Amino acid sequence: MTEKTWQKGLKWLLGVWLTGVTAAALLWAPPAAGFQGDSFRIVFFHVPQAWVAVLAFCVNLVASLRYLRGRRPLDDARATAAARLGLLFAILATITGSIFAKIEWGMFWNWDPRETSIVILLLIYAAYFALRQAVADEERRGALAAAYAIFAFVTMPFLIFVVPRVYASLHPNLVEAARGTVRFKMDPHMRMVLLAALVGFSGLFTWLYTLEVRVARLVAARRAQEEA
Amino acid sequence: MQRSSLLAESLAILGKEVASELRRRVALNAIGLFAVTTLVAVAYQIGPYGLAEQDRPFLLSALLWIILFFAATAGLARVFVKEEDAHTAKALRLAARPLAVLYGKLLFNLVLLLALEVIIVPLYCALMGFAVRSVAGLILVMAAGGAAFAVTSTFVAAIIARASGSNALFAILALPLLLPLLVAVIAGTRAAAGSMELAAVLPALRAIVSLGGVTMVTAVFLFPVVWRD
Amino acid sequence: MSESSSMLWVAVVMVVIWGGIFAYCLGLDRRLRHMEDQQ
């Protein structure tokens, strides 16, 4: 099946869009008050990556639920693809967050509540794959992984909302510094670039996800052919 | 045949767990030994005078929960893994409703955890010189925290028992899920240590109870999937 | 860290991340279409 023009067009658009966002983030967005130099610019990548990691988790949730309902291997493949991407973007978000911390505060790690939440998400993804590896039977693997993912998902709101607030009572001085990152006064230009980055990364995730699912489909089809 | 109620079945399973545990005491030994050893190590190294005054409330709360946490992970997975090891799981599947199995084993883990807390917490406070101002608050946090802990641990134990059953896998899967709870109970313990008013532990307690409630409901829905497969 | 070098670091990281992922996507896409045409 050769590629349709609109698909090609979308890819070009995505490429141009994100290149533009990167350029804008590096060159156009005005510097934020109170930050060392241009370190904050990485936030334009960091926030969307964290967002995509969460988005991937949601996609994984839907696929897991569907797998439990119909036990279709394709749904399990979808869940795995989403989890793999979620892991990738959680790692990226942790790295960019850590780079920011290093430039801004001089330490690679700071344990501010948002960072901690991303790390916990990262651990959940890693645990998901550790579980998958430990089960030999395909259907059981899919079912157990789906059950774990769904269970983990319900603890996520607590990760994102409760942990930061409770954490604040434990480390008030740390939170003062962290507040600066998450709620800095957003210049309208900055807001625009951030929004554009969010859209761009979401598009990137969608493309990556569809690619991975297509691969899974092909592999499954090929295996079915060999067995026939 | 008259089917017994869910409550009766659950309590029967709880009774069976307690009886078999008292007979061979594997989990009790593992948990108890781990807890006492770490407690003694910490108390010896740090003791009542080893920490700066302003750090004490937070660090002492954190250390206590770390001890409880790791001791618990040494023994909580056993409740499901031993069924698979002894090949009694199939019989249990036939003999009882899935939910009864969940509730029974959950109650057992809860009893184990509460027993652990009852023994370790006073010992810890004595050895470390941890002066807790609101004992009622501490008891609430310990009870609620223990319950929420038991829910997540039991569900993860059920999952890994159907996988490789190793304790390492249990720790890998349970840790990320328990971290938010850990943060909340440490905060609650710190609040109880710092203030005589019961109201001080309320924010943390709210987090703990809602976490426990949400995970409980989810576990009830998902357990049949894990168990039956 | 001096201003110019922090900018450089940030720029390098961002370009590497973006470029790397995009290149991977393009490559995977090309390979997929090749495999699908073979089917």
The partner residue sitting opposite B184, judged by closest CB among A124, A146, A166, is: A166
How many structural domains compose chain A? 1
Q: Which two tokens stand for residue B175?
A: 């840790």
Residues of chain B scoring pLDDT < 70: 1-3, 229
Instruction: Give the distance from residue B93's alpha carbon to the nearest chain A alpha carbon, in angstroms.
Output: 16
Q: Residues 6 or more apart from A54 whose CB is under 8 A from it?
A: A121, A156, A160
Structural domain including B115 reads 2-228
B159 touches chain A (CB under 8 A): yes
Q: Which of B188, C22, B116, B52 is nearest to A166 (CA)?
A: B188
Least Cα separation, residue A160 to chain B (angstroms): 10
Return the structure tokens found at A90: 């959680």
Tell me the whole-structure pTM to 2 decimals: 0.87
- On whether residue A179 sits in a domain, the answer given is no
- pLDDT, residue A163, reads 67
Number of domains chain B is built from = 1
The pLDDT of residue B183: 87
Q: How far apart are CA A153 and CA A141, in angstroms?
A: 18
Angle between helices A113-133 and A43-70 (to 10 degrees): 40
Average pLDDT over residues C10-33: 83
Per the CB < 8 Å rule, is A103 touching C29? no
* A102 found inside a domain: yes
B35 compared with C31, residue with greater pLDDT? B35
Task: Give the residue among A131, A133, A126 at the shortest CA–CA distance from A148.
Answer: A131
Measure the CA–CA gap between A57 and B140, rounded to whole angstroms: 33
Interface test with C, best of A201, A206, A211, A225 (most C CBs within 10 A): A211
Q: How far apart are CA A169 and CA A180, in angstroms?
A: 17
Query: Residue A87: which domain range?
Result: 38-167+188-227
Consecutive 10-residue runs of chain A (228 residues): their mean pLDDT?
Answer: 69 79 73 61 83 93 94 92 94 86 69 79 95 91 95 86 65 50 60 83 90 87 81
Those of residues 170-189 in A touching chain C at CB distance below 8 A are none
Q: Are B151 and B214 in contact (CB under 8 A)?
A: no
A6 within a domain of the structure (yes/no): no
Query: Which DSSP string corresponds to A107-126?
Result: -S----HHHHHHHHHHHHHH
- The pLDDT of residue A36: 59
Give the distance, in angstroms, between the CA of residue C7 and the centroid of all CA atoms in the same chain. 19
Asked if the Cβ–Cβ distance from C36 to A211 is below 8 Å, we say no
For residue A164, the model assigns a pLDDT of 67
Choose among A42, A102, A211: nearest Cβ to C14.
A42
d(CA A129, CA A108) in angstroms, rounded, equals 26
Using a CB–CB cutoff of 8 Å, tell me whether B177 touches chain A. Answer: yes
Residue B176 sits at the chain A interface (C-beta within 8 Å): yes
Find the residue in C nearest to A41 (Cα). Answer: C10
Q: Which residues of A touch C36 (CB under 8 A)?
A: 1, 214, 218
Q: Which residue among A139, A144, A169 sits closest to B163, beta carbon to beta carbon?
A: A144
Query: pLDDT tens across B30-40, in order?
Result: 888 999 999 99
